[in-house]
Amino acid sequence: MKWLELSVDTTSEGIDAVSSLLGDHGVDSLMIDDEVDFKAFLENNRQYWDYVDEGLLEEKRGKCRVTFYLPEDEDGWSRLGQIRIELSALKKKRPEFAPLLLTMKNVADEDWENNWKEFYKPMEIGERLLIVPEWEQAPQSGRVKVVLNPGLTFGTGSHATTRLCLSALDRLVRGGERVLDLGCGSGILSIAALCLGAERAFACDVDPTCVTTAGENAALNGIGGDRYTVRAGDVTADRELAREFGGDYDIITANIVADVIMSLSPRVRPLLKSGGLFLCSGIIDERAAEVRARLEADGWSIREENGSEGWYSYLCE
């Protein structure tokens, strides 16, 4: 198997946050270079050295880096997209952890957007959906086609968390629904719901680039602003954005991460109509029980629990 070698540059204080973020995406093997630890090692082990090469000191100066690996396949590239977006959000939330720069060994910046395309092919999901990359010819299948160009945002349909949500929407959407998509990424979930027959959808994400990407993907599917609204903002903190959501939704989706889902859990119900459903995903298996317990403590009844490739989703009512 081929691997992508990736590094995140941060501060010493930011290493724990970066490690936790990567852990939420199943990255449990890390190499950490921390200038603070290096200095502490030198200070605490003076009996073992008389001289430290200036080149080594210079190499370690100001360096706090987390290095990790992802498989060079569709899952790896999809996880990489999610990690990039969440690092951007972390940088805005905790600027003291900057630069939070993500780099890949031996891959030029201009190649990032294109390297994963060879792994992204048309995908049949559920009984009705067909997810088609914009640059691929769609096969004739009689399925509901969703055309997508995710760019550098998260959401191609190839990641297990997205497939779990799409499969649920394939079963749930029968026509006329109102959908709220929290953490929309490429817009894949809300656009798929509209293609399946939902009446209207509102989507949002902390990454401002998602507004453009989701809007362009909607246009690829003939969906205009009369049915689809996309906004940028933090759904857990932006009160003005929350007011714009309105309410009376049939389905709310949140394909994000465990901590954000648990934060959203007590806030979502007032946005649903009676009998509405909350579909959440992006939950790594090690945290599935924790998230379920929080959902149930907040009064949700788990209608469905589904898992795939070490990830979980919950359909709540």
Q: With a cut of 60, say whether residue 109 has pLDDT above it.
A: no
Looking at the structure, tell me whether residues 217 and 259 fall in a common domain. yes
Give pLDDT, residue 226.
Answer: 96
Domain that holds residue 255: 120-316
Give pLDDT, residue 294.
Answer: 97
Looking at the structure, tell me whether residues 128 and 164 fall in a common domain. yes
Q: Per-residue b/e over 80-94, b at no fewer than 16 CB within 10 Å? A: bbbbbbbbbbbbeee
Looking at the structure, tell me whether residues 96 and 42 fall in a common domain. yes
Residue 73: which H helix or E strand, with range?
A: none
Give pLDDT, residue 116.
Answer: 58
Residue 114, in any domain of the structure: no
2: Cα within 13 Å, side-chain hemisphere: 6
Beta strands in 47-199 (DSSP E): 64-71, 101-104, 123-125, 129-133, 144-148, 178-182
Residue 19, in any domain of the structure: yes
Here the CATH number for the domain that contains residue 289 is: 3.40.50.150
Other Cβ atoms less than 10 A from the Cβ of 276: the count is: 20
Q: With a cut of 50, say whether residue 124 has pLDDT above it.
A: yes
Here the CATH number for the domain that contains residue 21 is: 3.30.70
Looking at the structure, tell me whether residues 132 and 254 fall in a common domain. yes
pLDDT digits (tens, 9 = 90+) for 214-259: 999 999 999 999 999 999 988 878 888 888 989 999 999 999 888 8
Looking at the structure, tell me whether residues 101 and 124 fall in a common domain. no
Give pLDDT, residue 111.
Answer: 56
Looking at the structure, tell me whether residues 206 and 281 fall in a common domain. yes
Torsional sign, CA 131, 275, 211, 115: negative
Give pLDDT, residue 153.
Answer: 55
Give pLDDT, residue 239.
Answer: 84
Q: What's the whole-number average pLDDT of the chain? A: 84
Residues 61-65 have a mean pLDDT of 67
Least Cα distance to 283 among 190, 159, 185 occurs for 159
Give pLDDT, residue 33.
Answer: 80
Give pLDDT, residue 58.
Answer: 45
Residue 115, in any domain of the structure: no
Comparing 311 with 49, the larger pLDDT belongs to 311
SS3 sequence of 251-302: EEEEECCHHHHHHHHHHHHHHEEEEEEEEEEEEEHHHHHHHHHHHHHCCCCE
Looking at the structure, tell me whether residues 182 and 308 fall in a common domain. yes
Give pLDDT, residue 139.
Answer: 74
Measured CA to CA in angstroms, residue 269 lies from 38, 124, 153, 199, 256 at distances of 49, 31, 27, 20, 17
**Single residue among 105, 135, 170 that ends a domain in this structure:** 105
Q: With a cut of 60, say whether residue 37 has pLDDT above it.
A: no
Looking at the structure, tell me whether residues 39 and 126 fall in a common domain. no
pLDDT digits (tens, 9 = 90+) for 66-76: 889 888 887 88
Looking at the structure, tell me whether residues 167 and 290 fall in a common domain. yes
Residue 220, in any domain of the structure: yes
Looking at the structure, tell me whether residues 157 and 280 fall in a common domain. yes
State the pLDDT confidence band at 151, using cuts at 50, 70 and 90. low
Residue 146, in any domain of the structure: yes
Give pLDDT, residue 115.
Answer: 60
Measured CA to CA in angstroms, residue 298 lies from 155, 245, 305, 316 at distances of 28, 21, 17, 11
> Would you state the structure tokens that stand for residue 30, as one six-digit string?
């890390």
173 DSSP assignment: -
Give pLDDT, residue 64.
Answer: 84
Comparing 274 with 58, the larger pLDDT belongs to 274
Q: With a cut of 50, say whether residue 57 has pLDDT above it.
A: no
* Percent of the chain scoring above 70 in pLDDT: 84
State the pLDDT confidence band at 113, using cuts at 50, 70 and 90. low
Q: With a cut of 70, say whether residue 49 has pLDDT above it.
A: no
Model-wide pTM > 0.75: no
Q: With a cut of 50, say whether residue 62 has pLDDT above it.
A: yes
Q: With a cut of 80, say whether residue 107 has pLDDT above it.
A: no
96 DSSP assignment: G
> Would you state the structure tokens that stand for residue 188, as one six-digit string?
């894949």
Q: With a cut of 50, say whether residue 39 has pLDDT above it.
A: no
Residues 36-53 have a mean pLDDT of 43
Count of domains observed in the chain: 2
Residue 301, in any domain of the structure: yes
Give pLDDT, residue 40.
Answer: 47
Looking at the structure, tell me whether residues 188 and 268 fall in a common domain. yes
Looking at the structure, tell me whether residues 124 and 86 fall in a common domain. no
Residue 276, in any domain of the structure: yes
Give pLDDT, residue 47.
Answer: 39
Residue 277, in any domain of the structure: yes
